[in-house]
Structure 1
Amino acid sequence: MKYYLKEIIQNNFNERNAGSKARIDTDHILEALGYQPLESFLEIATSNSKLLKLTSQFYKYQELQTVFSEIQVGDEVVLQMPIQKQTLLLANCIRHLKKRNIKITILIHDLEAIRKMTMDSISFTTKIQISLSELKILKIADKVIAHNYRMKEKLVELGISEDKIVELEIFDYLLPEITKLKKAQKNNPIVIAGNLDPEKVGYIASLPQNIDYNLYGVGFTSDVKNPRINYFGSYLPNELPSHLEGSFGLVWDGDSATTCSGPFGNYLRYNNSHKASLYLASGLPLIVWEASALAAFVKRYHCGICVNSLTDIADELASLTDERFEILLQNTSHLGDLVKKGYFLTKSLDK
């Protein structure tokens, strides 16, 4: 039998944040491929008590052990990492599965060993714990689905066997068939969608004022004074694509408009931002940072443009011919059809 761990958040008060969209889509794709769900219910912690947090570690461990007890010798299970029901004893849970000759595949959503290593808000001890915990799990697994070749190289550098790593290329973004999209127009504003919290996208405060931008998402602050910015509010992940209107979708993080900087910006060197999948599913070609891992994807499939700085976008658009833009649209439409039907995860699991 083939299984996957399906984690259900019982008190999710932030449904307009697309953070869970990738996990939910993964669940749907796996079920369509015949994987059976192992349901694990999770409540978002509301207490900062160290004692309660410590107690919850053991509770989570016991609960996962109970869930995993359904799996029989020789079965397969897919785990999405990081597991939301996180426990320091997770590696032990997985080690017990391996002893029963159960095949384990890890799909990486975020690699905390990279993402949080440069965050000042995370203590050194916690960073070490995160790194060691993740590496243990990845080393135990039979197969690891990484975002791209850059993440694969980083994992190999961290001691994970290259033979077990498969590249996803891009996340899927499932949409209802009835979704109607607005066609991208060459002279329309640049779309910026997703988490607009200044801590993550501080660069919005210094966007060049020589082009227009349409913003969608949670966390936008009215303190940003830029006459070229139009803010359209937030929508649920499956509704958002039908509201996006623009020419390109921008994938950029950090506090600078001249380069992707800070913990979030640097993470783009290894990460496939889920908003790239949102844009492709919405029919929008991409604008990405030249130094990001996504740049290789954009160049391989000719589905957007790469820039070193946001100040370069105006010149890039000015030199973009109508014929070239139509080619980008055609390639984007093809990729959009693929991500909307779960092609990339299915391909990775076949490998």
Structure 2
Amino acid sequence: MHYFLTNKFEYNLSGIEHAQLYRWRMFTDLKVESKIITFDFTPELDRFLFRHGIGRSLSLNMFDCWQNVLQSAIQENEFENDFPNLRLRFEYYGPRTTPNYLLSKNKIKLVQYFDDNQQLMTEDHWDIRGFRSLRLDFSDGNIIKRSWYDLDGNVVLTEINGQLTITEHNPQFASTGNNTFTSWQQLKVAWLDFLVSRDNDAVLYIDRAEYVTPIVLAMENKAVPVYIILHSAHTKDRNDPMGAPFNEIRQLEIDRKERWSAYIASTPQQAKDFEVRSGIKTYTIPVSQVSQTAIPLAQKPKSIRNLVYTSRISREKRIEDAIYAVEKLVKKYPDIKLRIYGYVTDGEYNKELYTMIKRLQLEENVYLLPYQVDRTDIFSQADIFILTSEYEGFNMSMLEAAAYGVPTVAYDVKYGPAHLNEQLKTGALVESGNIDALAKQINALIEDDEGYKIQQSQSQAQAIKQFGSKVVGQKWQNFLEKEALIRESRRWVYDFDFSSNHNALAPANLAIGQYAQDEGFSPLSYPEVINMDRDSKLENINMGDIVLTGYPSFYKTMPTVLQYDLDLARKIKQMGAKLIMLVEDSLSLRELTNFVENELATLNVADILMVLTEQMKGELISLGIKTPILVQSPYPLPKGNISASSNYSGIRTKEILYSGNLTKAPFLESIAVEVDVFGPRISEKMRQNYKIRYHGSVPFSQLMAKLRDFRGFGLVWDGGDVPIKTDTGRYTRYNFPYKASQYLALEMPLIAWSGSAISGFILEHNCGILINNMSELKNRMEQLSQQEISNMAMNAKRLSKMVTEGTSFKSDLNRAISWVQD
């Protein structure tokens, strides 16, 4: 996994976070797994991510890791008053700027507890996803303790008198290591070490160097590759890159130059300058790119008057120079407009700009406007982009403007404007700080209508040619190959030897393992013990891998009441892998109440669930499953099993076969038609029923050989004569019994309860008959014509390929793989 390191996401993104998003999209296109890592506590993180169209899966926050919310979208925890004797004050998130499930009017943001003297005693901060995240305890108005909580309300971290302590509920907790830290910096270092310890292929990219470089330098792990992205100047005098002293953070890095694998700059000139001065290998890869598909150019009005400047409202951007340029032009062009879009990082400077606009009487010509996430309208309506910064390492907005056919007039400063102007072959550069020259070049573009149209189309064409996603993607591909950093995520399937087991899941799991291996999965054995400590690992699994496991595992499921399955799922996710879970059985839907809590917890850990029926999907959702659910085709049979098609193609009969666990088939004790029965645990009453021809209990592989010449129907039935009256019968409303796959493999039409989940499948494919209860079976069979039986048998033969060749299952598995990869 490749990790892009910054401090936090905010309501408005800086150029660094935008660069990380561009890189993440590029790596995704290259099939290289990556995540953006943030360290700061951000209870509104989900809101910020949604605002910028960022999926939660690409962001990994340190506190989310501790609080076990990496995979959880929403947790609607009910508010409970822990201090009924204190007075309460609430604050709520709002207004609704995201979907209701993320943010509603009654979503708690803050709860304060006061004593009778209005003294603040405790303050709870709630995450926007709906759970208490941080508690502050006060004494005499001072914070004496901070406590962070996970989704289940367990404390995962405390801070008392500057001492930070990780608890046993924190995934970073080490049973034999250090869990107490004297500073946040020390704890961040330990967390980053913890993160890369789970990933043998970890690669770090430092984006916000002033924040992240000291953390990386203090790591115990000195072997993980580290690359530093040059987003800004490397010297104190930004325009003297070869003579001026290095700035503080670059000097710190150069003093430890042996730690860095390489630097990456956006322009060839900065890469050359930095490599010559530092002696550290430096690549050239732009921090931004444009779509390979040309954006339809807006039809501009005859007069060119709309200027735009998108930037942080910060003093080094010298926005006042652009305003002064407009002042020089407004007499000639009274309708000229300069719209400045940006978020404020310097409040005092922002006030000065407002005052300046008013003083120059430009209120009708110059507008200070808020930052815009979607800038389509901004550039579609703009004629000229203005850039007056003291320094620009690249400038993504200048490139973005070109993609919309908008030329730029910019100050000639290091490094971005000169490089982009050269590559785009449009717009103009003027001497830095020369406002007269800036106004003159703007005027030249306004007056040259034909020349402007040429620049408009040329700037877009050059932007795609020089900075299109394919071009920049190839630069990243070359970098990754040269640095030997490409690692394909691996695929694993948990395999358990069921060969001596008569359970229906024995052949199902065998088949799943076989066909998964056809799709590139390698087998793993279930671990005897699952250690949740930070230093413990699962065999072979690394961050970014895909793991396929059946649920329940039935390895240690029953004796641990599913705790084994839950721990395994959590450990897989703790390792940073993607988890596909095949729901072969549901103990909750089997009405085993003591398994419900752990089942729901286990299923909500997975990245995607595969189930056999729409009915099971719907019921699991109603029980509280949030994990995406894919409905798959029937389970296949293991390879090498003999199907009827290899030995028999004659006329079908009205004989009936039942195969399965006979404790779930009490209806056989009183069945009134002749049935051939295979299976374990036959009851005495069944033995006494002369209608039953019992053939014993045999392993699945032998059973298929014995049944190769059977000419009749396969009975899919559990419970009593009326299934709805028994728990095993009611369960058939949701599942697709494996015996149905077995019968279809033998090209046998099916008999099933009309209220079962499989009934829809039988009706859709006309591959059997449905009855309401067992008393109807005899008459229904007698009514069947040979033509009806032949049609059903022909349809069953067609369906047999679905379960004997595994093609449908592999197609479904690949759908699940695509889901977790995307």
TM-score bracket, shorter-length normalisation: 0.7 to 0.9
Aligned to 1:284, which of 737, 748, 752?
748
Alpha-carbon displacement from aligned partner over 1:171-195 (angstroms, at most 9, x marks no partner): 2123526555555854342111122
Question: The residue matched to 1:313 in structure 2 has which SS?
Answer: helix
1:137 aligns with 2:631: no
The 8 Å contact of residues 181 and 243 in structure 1, kept in 2 or not, is answered as no
State the partner residue of 2:541: 71
Cα drift, residue 259 of structure 1: 3.6
State the partner residue of 1:85: 556
Question: The residue matched to 2:542 in structure 1 has which SS?
Answer: coil
The 8 Å contact of residues 169 and 297 in structure 1, kept in 2 or not, is answered as no
The 8 Å contact of residues 511 and 637 in structure 2, kept in 1 or not, is answered as yes
State the partner residue of 2:706: 243
Q: Structure 2 vs 1, CA of residues 110 and 177 (structure 1 numbering), >3 Å: closer, same or farther?
A: closer
Cα drift, residue 100 of structure 1: 4.5
Cα drift, residue 35 of structure 1: 0.2
Cα drift, residue 327 of structure 1: 1.3
The 8 Å contact of residues 614 and 631 in structure 2, kept in 1 or not, is answered as yes
Instruction: Report 1:188-337 matches (<5 A).
Output: 188-197=654-663, 200-208=664-672, 211-224=673-686, 225-244=688-707, 245-254=710-719, 256-337=720-801
* Aligned residue-pair number: 315
Q: Structure 2 vs 1, CA of residues 323 and 95 (structure 1 numbering), >3 Å: closer, same or farther?
A: same
State the partner residue of 1:347: 811
Alpha-carbon displacement from aligned partner over 1:217-243 (angstroms, at most 9, x marks no partner): 222245432332212223221221232
Q: Structure 2 vs 1, CA of residues 287 and 89 (structure 1 numbering), >3 Å: closer, same or farther?
A: closer
The 8 Å contact of residues 657 and 714 in structure 2, kept in 1 or not, is answered as yes
Cα drift, residue 337 of structure 1: 1.6
Question: The residue matched to 1:187 in structure 2 has which SS?
Answer: coil
The 8 Å contact of residues 144 and 166 in structure 1, kept in 2 or not, is answered as yes
The 8 Å contact of residues 659 and 678 in structure 2, kept in 1 or not, is answered as yes
* Structure 2: distance between partners of 1:101 and 1:75: 8
State the partner residue of 1:124: none
* Structure 1: distance between partners of 2:502 and 2:576: 40
The 8 Å contact of residues 636 and 804 in structure 2, kept in 1 or not, is answered as yes
* Structure 1: distance between partners of 2:721 and 2:641: 36
* Structure 2: distance between partners of 1:282 and 1:320: 20
Alpha-carbon displacement from aligned partner over 1:54-79 (angstroms, at most 9, x marks no partner): xxxxx34469x966252111111111
Cα drift, residue 16 of structure 1: 4.0
Cα drift, residue 144 of structure 1: 0.2
Q: Structure 2 vs 1, CA of residues 98 and 19 (structure 1 numbering), >3 Å: closer, same or farther?
A: closer
Q: Structure 2 vs 1, CA of residues 97 and 187 (structure 1 numbering), >3 Å: closer, same or farther?
A: closer
Question: The residue matched to 2:604 in structure 1 has which SS?
Answer: helix
Matched to 2:692, the amino acid is I
State the partner residue of 1:168: 632
* Structure 1: distance between partners of 2:763 and 2:650: 19
Matched to 1:21, the amino acid is P
* Structure 2: distance between partners of 1:350 and 1:107: 13
* Structure 2: distance between partners of 1:175 and 1:89: 29
1:5 aligns with 2:494: yes
1:94 aligns with 2:569: yes
Aligned to 2:615, which of 124, 142, 150?
150
Q: Structure 2 vs 1, CA of residues 97 and 234 (structure 1 numbering), >3 Å: closer, same or farther?
A: closer
Alpha-carbon displacement from aligned partner over 1:245-286 (angstroms, at most 9, x marks no partner): 2421111111x2244531211110111111111111111110
Q: Identify which of structures 1 and 2 has the higher relative contact order when contacts are C-alpha pairs closer than 8 Å and 6+ apart.
A: 1
If the length of structure 2 is used for normalisation, what is the TM-score?
0.36
The 8 Å contact of residues 538 and 571 in structure 2, kept in 1 or not, is answered as no
1:39 aligns with 2:525: yes
Alpha-carbon displacement from aligned partner over 1:76-109 (angstroms, at most 9, x marks no partner): 1111111223352643543343355421111011
The 8 Å contact of residues 654 and 781 in structure 2, kept in 1 or not, is answered as no
Instruction: Report 1:113-132 matches (<5 A).
Output: 113-117=588-592, 127-128=593-594, 130-132=595-597
Unaligned runs of at least 5 residues, structure 1: 43-58, 118-126
* Structure 2: distance between partners of 1:61 and 1:261: 42
Q: Percent identity?
A: 26
Q: Structure 2 vs 1, CA of residues 304 and 297 (structure 1 numbering), >3 Å: closer, same or farther?
A: same
Q: Structure 2 vs 1, CA of residues 317 and 34 (structure 1 numbering), >3 Å: closer, same or farther?
A: same
Q: Structure 2 vs 1, CA of residues 190 and 175 (structure 1 numbering), >3 Å: closer, same or farther?
A: farther
Alpha-carbon displacement from aligned partner over 1:85-137 (angstroms, at most 9, x marks no partner): 335264354334335542111101111111143xxxxxxxxx34x21212122
Matched to 2:623, the amino acid is L
State the partner residue of 1:24: 510
* Structure 1: distance between partners of 2:674 and 2:768: 18
Q: Structure 2 vs 1, CA of residues 260 and 231 (structure 1 numbering), >3 Å: closer, same or farther?
A: farther
The 8 Å contact of residues 17 and 217 in structure 1, kept in 2 or not, is answered as no
* Structure 2: distance between partners of 1:2 and 1:288: 37
Unaligned runs of at least 5 residues, structure 2: 1-489, 816-822
Matched to 1:24, the amino acid is L
* Structure 1: distance between partners of 2:564 and 2:701: 35
Q: Structure 2 vs 1, CA of residues 95 and 231 (structure 1 numbering), >3 Å: closer, same or farther?
A: closer
If the length of structure 1 is used for normalisation, what is the TM-score?
0.81
Cα drift, residue 344 of structure 1: 3.3
Greater C-alpha radius of gyration? 2
1:105 aligns with 2:580: yes
State the partner residue of 1:47: none
